[in-house]
A and B are shown apart, each in its own frame.
Chain A
């Protein structure tokens, strides 16, 4: 059977979720492997959410936030960026490929970017296969 990646995407309410919405409204095509979860800010994504997603069977986790300087809450996206960097190092030590965790800045106007990021990420995870135990 072909491997279909499962990807959890935490998208911020103000930019990335609106970006994903725009991708849909504009009818851009992207793979259906992403499960979007709306959060108020990428800074709301606790490190626990990331590890929980992997434990419950996600093959990749995508976090979408506003561009640096554009955060609705001033510095939530910087916190998310640092959290992701720290989590990548923890995942590596745990034996999980850190490429499975990705953070992207997607604004409300960048529907195209959302579609292309998802496409790229799904392809990459497809290449990596499921998390090897």
Chain B
């Protein structure tokens, strides 16, 4: 079986995440042949162009579409691959770099280069960040930032056997703090996680925003096991459109009546809190200009 892995606009964490399979990667390598993986081995785009159409069995595309080059290679790989997999949160819903859609292209370039943007032979910086499925047809996605080993293992095994994968329950279902969740949660003050001494109970019951209820299970609650609230990198459950908006509805329902205005005002960054990984889905064509 021939596989390829490519990075678009990404941090490189997804490429490294394959190694989190540890010694199981040796079993994987027995079954597959890597034909293209620029992060790990020396390949050129010409090599891919010379391949026959559909000759790659599975292509893992990580990273979002931010430059002309990302888009061109995504289309090229789509043509050469039987199955195109969006690998990691960036390719699926834009992830943290998708927050750039809150700003205009010119603002970003000015912030980064302060003077003139070098123009020599550089691929064009697109007006806004796109996800992989905005550009090509995607057959499946492996979520996470980067995909945690438990999701990855399940996904790779299922893909090699041609089966579907992924759990249909929220993260709370596999949360180690599940039993400490009271029957009725009431939030009268919201804390950022560093502002409060962790009591070891359910984060929401402590007044710390945890995206667990709106996030798909599968990662074995890695962050919560390390005493950090969930920020939602795995994304929404299959029947939910957006995890951010469902979490806003949920939080609104559990804020206490006493000082609700104060609580609502104390959340400083709504897009960054609830749409940390999916701003590219919320604002596919950048921020709107409807002020005044």
Contact = CB atoms under 8 A, between A and B. Distances in A.
Interface of A: 43, 46-48, 51, 75, 78-79, 81-83, 85-87, 89-90, 93-97, 100, 128, 131-133
A78 B257 contact: yes
Given A83-B252, A86-B251, A94-B283, A51 B245 contact: yes
B135 interface: no
A83 B248 CA distance: 7
10 contacts: A46-B245, A47-B245, A48-B242, A82-B252, A82-B253, A82-B260, A82-B264, A95-B283, A95-B288, A132-B289
Contacts of A43: 253
Contacts of B245: 46-48, 51
A43 B245 CA distance: 15
A86 B288 contact: no
A117 to B, nearest CB: 22
B270 interface: yes
Contacts of A131: 288, 290
A93 B291 CA distance: 10
A11 B262 CA distance: 27
- Nearest 4 pairs of A and B residues by beta carbon: A95-B288, A83-B252, A95-B287, A82-B252
Contacts of B267: 86, 89
B249 interface: yes
Given A51-B245, A95-B290, 7 more contacts: A47-B252, A48-B245, A83-B252, A86-B252, A96-B288, A97-B291, A133-B288
Contacts of B269: 93
Contacts of B257: 75, 78
A96 B290 contact: yes
Main SS at interface, chain A: helix
Nearest to A95: B288
Task: Determine the interface band of chain B, counting residues with CB < 8 A from chain A.
Answer: 20 to 34
Given A95-B287, A95-B288, A131-B290, A90 B253 contact: no
A93 B270 contact: yes
B274 A90 contact: yes
A75 B267 CA distance: 23
Given A79-B253, A97-B290, A89 B270 contact: yes
B282 interface: yes
B241 A90 contact: no
Contacts of A75: 257
Nearest to A81: B260
Contact of B271 (A48, A82, A90, A132): A90
A87 B271 CA distance: 11
A48 B274 contact: no
Given A48-B241, A48-B242, A89-B267, A132 B290 contact: yes
A90 B283 CA distance: 12
Interface in B224-242: 241-242
Contact of B289 (A82, A95, A128): A95
Most chain B beta-carbon contacts within 10 A, residue among A43, A82, A83: A82
Contacts of B285: 133
